[in-house]
Amino acid sequence: GPVIQLSAARKLYRSGTIEFEALRGVDLAITEGEYVAIMGPSGSGKSTLMNVLGCLDTLTSGSYRLAGDDVDDLDEAELAAIRNERIGFVFQQFNLLPSLPAWRNVELPLIYGRVPAAERRERAQRALDRVGLADRYDNRPGELSGGQQQRVAVARALVGEPTLILADEPTGNLDSVSTEDVLGLFDELHELGRTIVLITHESEVAERARRVVRVRDGLLLPGHAEMAEEVRA
């Protein structure tokens, strides 16, 4: 079955008496091994969608199934467990801990998962090898370029072998060379069969994915639905 199945997804934000519907009925199915870009202008609902897909926030109505499990009725602790076990996150700002060497940043998801220390170190180093940073295990983020820091973040996203890699504007802070670097890495991960969802407002970045889903004003633009049907068929 699909890794991601969103059905009639709605998200309503309330502040005081003001309500705003950031997702207005979104249906989206993503199959294992797909590489999908979610694209749309600022304010269209991308971050809201990312937060829902990443189990950082829940829907107001509709349903979200991740790898067949309903996540709508989970409490915060259960959501945190799902995030850690099933989702590898890559953010625009890298979100690395500056005081820790690269390999210590990469092992963090495994600490939560109670993996023994020796195995954590070995897996962190293998993940860094995978992203081309075999000679940077011990460097702190401040000693690395932006592109290298984002590769550390990709290694951290991979190390737990998650069901889904969720990248939110991963190239937003990178120059064109580092952007190419990171997108090349996603190409490789796709070839290895990982499921990748990349959120971006840049069409040159979105075009690198195998399927582009366009968001406007809290709705998916037509065109993607037939593709989702094809994938399901």
List residues near ligand ADP by CB under 6 A: 13, 15, 20, 22, 40, 42-48
Task: Kindly state the smallest distance separating residue 42's Cβ from ligand ADP, in Å.
Answer: 4
The residue (of 48 and 150) whose beta carbon lies closer to ligand ADP is 48
Task: Kindly state the smallest distance separating residue 71's Cβ from ligand ADP, in Å.
Answer: 18
Closest Cα partner for 24 from 6, 9, 36?
Answer: 9
Residue 29 and residue 2 in contact, taking contact as beta carbons nearer than 8 Å? yes
- CA dist 39 and 106 (Å) reads 28
Residue 218 and residue 41 in contact, taking contact as beta carbons nearer than 8 Å? no
Task: Kindly state the smallest distance separating residue 202's Cβ from ligand ADP, in Å.
Answer: 12
For helices 102-112 and 146-158, angle between their N-to-C axes, nearest 10 degrees = 20
The residue (of 52 and 108) whose beta carbon lies closer to ligand ADP is 52
Phi, psi angle pair for 136, to nearest 5°: -130, 15
The residue (of 20 and 112) whose beta carbon lies closer to ligand ADP is 20
Residue 44 and residue 11 in contact, taking contact as beta carbons nearer than 8 Å? no
The residue (of 43 and 184) whose beta carbon lies closer to ligand ADP is 43
The residue (of 140 and 201) whose beta carbon lies closer to ligand ADP is 201
Task: Kindly state the smallest distance separating residue 58's Cβ from ligand ADP, in Å.
Answer: 13
The residue (of 13 and 112) whose beta carbon lies closer to ligand ADP is 13
Task: Kindly state the smallest distance separating residue 91's Cβ from ligand ADP, in Å.
Answer: 9
Task: Kindly state the smallest distance separating residue 159's Cβ from ligand ADP, in Å.
Answer: 25
Residue 209 and residue 196 in contact, taking contact as beta carbons nearer than 8 Å? yes
Q: How many CB atoms lie within 10 A of CB 151?
A: 26
DSSP per position, 169-231: STTTT--HHHHHHHHHHHHHHHHTT--EEEEES-HHHHTTSSEEEEEETTEEPTTHHHHHHHH
